Amino acid sequence: MDYRIEHDSMGEMRVPADRLWGAQTQRSLENFPIGAGIETMPREIITAFGVLKAAAARANHTLKPEAMTEEKLAAIEKASEEVRSGALMEHFPLVVWQTGSGTQSNMNVNEVIAARANELAGRKLCHPNDDVNMSQSSNDTFPTALHIAAVTTLEDRLLPAADGLIDLLRGLEEKNRGIVKSGRTHLMDAVPIAFSQEISGWRSSLERSRDLLRLSLPPLRELALGGTAVGTGLNAPRGFDRQAAAEVSALTGKEFRPAENKFHALTSLDELVFAHGAVKALAADMMKIANDVRWLASGPRCGLGEISIPANEPGSSIMPGKVNPTQCEQVTMVAVQVMGNDAAIGFAASQGNFELNVFLPLVAYNFMQSVRLLSESIASFTERCAAGITPNREKMTENLHRSLMLVTALNPHIGYEKAAETASLAYRENISLKEACVRLGYLTPERFDEVFRPEEMV
């Protein structure tokens, strides 16, 4: 492999000749061989840095044009756009398990953008620290990139995925009106419920989680950029935070604004904890829906069998013909991962010591993984499972009329205790509720038929 010599404030480093990064990135690459090539800084964070660096360069050009010249701005903007588009991803090799401020990833971005800007200019025009990192610190850029990435992924990936499933469930609700089935509480038979009502519960849960996700967005729109090292804004021109936030908004088409208190913005992760809590709430709803679906589809002969779901692949390497609810299973596994990520983010957020939280890469990794996995999980479940849910009407009717909890309809006519006695006799003797009620002398056959109408109990 060919190398070139780069240097930083600590001396010289050998860097692969075909890579755009510099000495600081190389030091991190060698000092942190932890999860190399696997647990690297999330793509969403890198592309958010591309937005941030272009926005900072624009703000600097407006506020201090003598330092950020037209030529430098043009070169940095072009290089930043390549970072934002993902065209330079092979030049961002650093792992999550590095410095807790994300300093080395910020410098990785600075070095790559400076090197690419110099390539575009045809000369050594930009310096990683003096130009690309002008008016910034790793301490305010990393949380800013994290907020940009969080808003972008929630708005562009997770909320649309949730909306897609909500819309599909609303259609299933309408399609299945008029079907009555046995309800279940504690995994035991309960009073009847319309299948459309059961589906409406799933839909409404997702709508509530969607509302909570939307509530989490406004705090995430506040950016730490302009706080620099400890929140005082040292070495940033007056008004840089407002100008940079406006440029981020212009580049993304999304609303962002400067954080009111930069000391809070650098040391606290409240906004991300709250937002990921909403992500976890959605994951919990998906866990419940997936479990309901796979229970209702269990069988095909020895389970509940009240619905059918698509058969997507063989389910066993030894049992011919077996088909499993695999889309439900991927949903529940993703939900568990999101819940674990939430615990990690909560612990990390509690470690904001003095003027900085030093668990930022971990939070970035877990947050982005949760949003990415849950978005893709919901979309897959919607297309490959929920869209193919069909009711087994005969099985629903059979289970409905075999349920002893239909005896609840008799409460107003014979009282709770006599109804309980009726259900107990029917269960012990394996007879119908009507036979039990008549045998006990509580109602005549004709009166029983008048008051006992399961389909009207919903």
The full DSSP string for 92-113 is ---BSSS-TT-HHHHHHHHHHH
- For residues 56 and 137, the answer to whether their CB atoms sit within 8 Å is no
β 257-258/222-223 pair status: parallel
Cis check: omega of the bond before 258, within 30 degrees of 0 = no
> What number of H helices and E strands is found in the chain?
17, 10
**Can you give the pLDDT of all 458 residues of the chain as single tens digits?**
899 999 999 999 999 999 999 999 999 999 999 999 999 999 999 999 999 999 999 999 999 999 999 999 999 999 999 999 999 999 999 999 999 999 999 999 999 999 999 999 999 999 999 999 999 999 999 999 999 999 999 999 999 999 999 999 999 999 999 999 999 999 999 999 999 999 999 999 999 999 999 999 999 999 999 999 999 999 999 999 999 999 999 999 999 999 999 999 999 999 999 999 999 999 999 999 999 999 999 999 999 999 999 999 999 999 999 999 999 999 999 999 999 999 999 999 999 899 999 999 999 999 999 999 999 999 999 999 999 999 999 999 999 999 999 999 999 999 999 999 999 999 999 999 999 999 999 999 999 999 999 888 99
Q: Which tokens go with 61?
A: 């050009």
pLDDT at position 162 is 98
Domains with residue ranges and CATH for the chain:
3-134 (1.10.275.10), 146-177+192-220+265-394 (1.20.200.10), 403-456 (1.10.40.30)
Tokens of 336: 């568990």
From CA 159, how far away is CA 213, in angstroms rounded?
8
Torsion from C-alpha of 329, 334, 336, 340, nearest 10 degrees: 160
Q: What is the pLDDT of residue 18?
A: 97
Judge whether 316 counts as a catalytic residue.
yes
pLDDT at 250: 98
Residues 6+ apart with CB under 8 A from 263: 227, 230, 231, 355
As a dihedral over the C-alpha atoms of residue 106, residue 229, residue 261, residue 236, rounded to 10 degrees, the angle is: -90
Instruction: Compute the distance between CA of residue 81 and CA of residue 420 in angstroms, rounded to an integer.
Output: 72
Looking at the chain, how many residues does it have?
458
CB–CB of 419/425 below 8 Å? Answer: no
Q: Are 265 and 355 in contact (CB under 8 A)?
A: no
Active-site residue, from 85, 204, 316, 350: 316
Burial (CB < 10 A; 0-12, 13-18, 19+), residue 38, is: exposed
pTM of the model: 0.96
How high is the pLDDT of residue 1?
A: 85
Residue holding tokens 């510099």? Answer: 22
Separation CA 92–CA 344 (nearest Å): 24
For residue 136, with 0-12 CB atoms within 10 Å meaning exposed, 13-18 middle and 19 or more buried, which class applies? buried
Instruction: Based on the residue annotation, tell me whether 308 is a catalytic residue of this protein.
Output: no
Give the integer Cα–Cα distance in Å for 285 and 287. 5
Give Cα separations from 93 to 53, 71, 79, 132, 144 (angstroms).
19, 29, 18, 19, 20
Cα–Cα distance between 370 and 355 in angstroms, integer?
27
